[in-house]
């Protein structure tokens, strides 16, 4: 992935910027209320917490770890039902990528809990942060939103509160209308937050044939972003073998462009032929998955050409935290 060059200083840079405490908390992908023109998560959302104990793979041990990472980092609007661990209660809990006003959790009037995943945090362990919001929601009264607490301190993690064997059935949505479905008393603040979030949503679809692969369209360009559970070195070796063999495509005229790391996992990215829909990817991605498994199982040392390809692949990576 190409590196961005230095940005010229302009009026937006020269003007004083409000402190984080003076800027309202909004959804991670919504425009920052400070007026910078950037999304909240790339602007004042970075200042929302304080540094803490860093956990490299915060969702490790949960069923569907790759989808947890995808819902945290690359999927705009999605939900998934969660199952509480034995002894943690009988509440209906639904995981959501984003909630109104970036609330960490919300207890509906019927007692059901909506649990947000893309919330500002600074403890270094998103699993602990989300679990803290869930703990509070399980004790709160119906109709109660949970306030942000980006550094909750020691306590149970999601792996302690949830049934870790229960599959994560992800449902991707075209927008955030699910916030107000079945709600008669719709507050103006929630509706306004939904409208802002809907304006920023990126068309996204989850492929059904493989785990945690997501098609998206961004400003007229089509991409595949695929969260993978494999060891980084082994995955780079495998991708290098496929590249040398001309077998690293996931469809006609697709192009592997690089990868990023998120919560301890690698997320390879492909550019797709213009107009490629999610349905057209199902068969090519399944076929590619088979080729990748064969390449991962190849224990031979890389030859000179493959080592050169691997170095090129490694140079096109970045890390999200």
pLDDT at 115: 98
- Which of 121, 111, 94, 118 lies closest to 179 in space, CA to CA? 94
Stretch 287-302: mean pLDDT, rounded?
97
Same domain, yes or no, for 196 and 214?
A: no
pLDDT at 46: 53
Q: What is the dihedral sign for C-alpha 291, 292, 294, 295?
A: positive
* Torsion angle of the four alpha carbons 112, 117, 123, 125, in this order, in degrees rounded to the nearest 10: 100
The residues near 219 (Cβ < 8 Å, ≥ 6 apart) are: none
pLDDT at 96: 98
Boundary (domain end) residue, out of 201, 234, 249? 201
Same domain, yes or no, for 73 and 178?
A: yes
Same domain, yes or no, for 194 and 214?
A: no
**Is 128 domain-assigned?**
yes
**Is 18 domain-assigned?**
no
pLDDT at 57: 96
Same domain, yes or no, for 173 and 227?
A: no
Stretch 3-14: mean pLDDT, rounded?
38
pLDDT in tens, 67-124: 999 999 999 999 999 999 999 999 999 999 999 988 999 999 899 999 999 998 878 9
pLDDT at 37: 77
Stretch 256-264: mean pLDDT, rounded?
95
Stretch 40-56: mean pLDDT, rounded?
63
Same domain, yes or no, for 172 and 218?
A: no
| Longest Cα separation, the chain | 66
Please state which of the ranges 21-30, 118-127, 199-208 shows the lowest mean pLDDT: 21-30
Boundary (domain end) residue, out of 173, 201, 229? 201
Look up residue 184 and give its DSSP letter: S
Same domain, yes or no, for 189 and 225?
A: no
Same domain, yes or no, for 196 and 292?
A: no
Same domain, yes or no, for 192 and 235?
A: no
pLDDT in tens, 227-242: 999 999 999 999 999 9
**Is 90 domain-assigned?**
yes
Secondary structure (DSSP) of 125-174: -HHHHHHHHHHHHHHSPTTPEEPP-S---S---HHHHB-TTS---EEE-S
CATH at residue 237? 3.30.1460
**Is 17 domain-assigned?**
no
Boundary (domain end) residue, out of 176, 201, 226? 201
For 236, the domain range is 206-320
What is the total count of domains within the chain?
2
């Amino acid at each position: 992935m190409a590196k961005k060059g230095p940005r010229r200083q302009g009026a937006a840079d020269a003007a004083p910027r409000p402190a984080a405490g003076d800027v309202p908390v909004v959804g991670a992908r919504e425009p920052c209320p400070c007026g910078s023109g950037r999304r909240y998560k790339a602007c004042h959302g970075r200042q929302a917490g304080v540094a803490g104990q860093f956990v490299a793979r915060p969702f490790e041990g949960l069923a569907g770890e790759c989808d947890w990472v995808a819902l945290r980092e690359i999927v705009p609007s999605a939900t998934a039902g969660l199952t509480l661990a034995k002894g943690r209660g009988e509440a209906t809990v639904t995981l959501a990528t984003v909630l109104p006003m970036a609330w960490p959790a919300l207890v509906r009037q019927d007692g059901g809990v909506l649990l947000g995943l893309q919330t500002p945090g600074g403890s270094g362990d998103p699993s602990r942060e989300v679990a803290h919001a869930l703990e509070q929601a399980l004790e709160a009264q119906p109709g109660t939103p949970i306030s942000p607490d980006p550094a909750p301190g020691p306590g149970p993690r999601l792996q302690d509160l949830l049934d870790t064997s229960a599959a994560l059935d992800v449902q991707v949505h075209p927008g955030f209308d699910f916030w107000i479905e079945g709600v008669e008393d719709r507050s103006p603040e929630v509706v306004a937050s939904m409208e802002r979030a809907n304006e920023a949503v990126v068309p996204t679809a989850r492929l059904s044939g493989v785990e945690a692969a997501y098609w998206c369209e961004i400003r007229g360009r089509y991409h595949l972003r695929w969260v993978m559970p494999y060891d980084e070195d082994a995955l780079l070796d495998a991708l290098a073998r496929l590249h040398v063999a001309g077998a690293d495509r996931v469809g006609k005229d697709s192009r592997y462009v690089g990868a990023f790391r998120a919560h301890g996992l690698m997320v390879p990215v492909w550019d797709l032929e213009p107009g490629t829909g999610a349905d057209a990817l199902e068969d090519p991605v399944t076929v590619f998955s088979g080729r990748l498994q064969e390449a991962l199982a190849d224990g031979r040392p890389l030859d000179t050409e493959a080592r050169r390809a691997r170095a090129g692949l490694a140079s096109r990576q970045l890390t999200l935290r």
